[in-house]
């Protein structure tokens, strides 16, 4: 049913993503699917790398560790953004097409009053993606 699963990850908050990471790995094993971890970074230096190449190396290390520890086929895909805080949804939507994903598995948070002002990333992706989207509650 699924052959390419995309999982957006924030390397700064990996413990908060555990449920989605586990769910994606379980689905990958069940369907024999490849998992692509997508990270969005800025071109400017940040806490996760001085440049996009350093960030990409950390994302690659993460993907390789997931492959070893979970027994799945993984890849990484880095997206460079001028301002990840404002165009994250747009960049993730583009990554769906660029990775050929037929399923997106992403972590969400419990809804709160701010979701009425700023919709969640998961909700926006689920609303607009042309593939299936599974939003996993944290």
- What letter does residue 46 receive in the DSSP assignment? B
What's the pLDDT tens digit per position in 74-98? Answer: 999 999 999 988 899 999 999 999 9
What contacts 8, CB < 8 A, 6 or more positions away?
A: 37, 38, 39, 40, 92, 95, 104, 106, 121
Domain of residue 131: give its range. 4-137
- Give this prediction's pTM: 0.91
What contacts 133, CB < 8 A, 6 or more positions away?
A: 103, 104, 105, 106, 122, 125, 126
What's the pLDDT tens digit per position in 46-76? Answer: 889 999 999 999 999 999 999 999 999 999 9
Q: What is the domain-level CATH number for residue 70?
A: 3.40.50.620
Q: Which of 14, 2, 1, 8 is nearest to 125 (CA)?
A: 8
Total structural domains in the chain?
1
């Amino acid at each position: 049913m699924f052959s390419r699963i995309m999982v957006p990850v924030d390397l700064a908050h990996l413990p908060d993503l555990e449920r989605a990471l586990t769910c994606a790995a379980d689905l990958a094993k069940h369907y024999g699917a490849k998992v692509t971890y997508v990270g969005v970074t800025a071109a400017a230096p940040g806490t996760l790398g001085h440049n996009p190449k350093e960030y990409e190396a950390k994302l690659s290390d993460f993907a390789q560790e997931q492959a070893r520890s979970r027994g799945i086929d993984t890849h990484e895909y880095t997206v460079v953004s001028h301002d990840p805080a404002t165009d994250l949804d747009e960049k993730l939507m583009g990554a769906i097409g660029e990775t050929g994903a037929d399923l997106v598995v992403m972590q969400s948070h419990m809804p709160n009053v701010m979701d009425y002002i700023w919709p969640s990333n998961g909700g926006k992706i689920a609303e607009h993606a042309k593939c299936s989207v599974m939003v996993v509650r944290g």
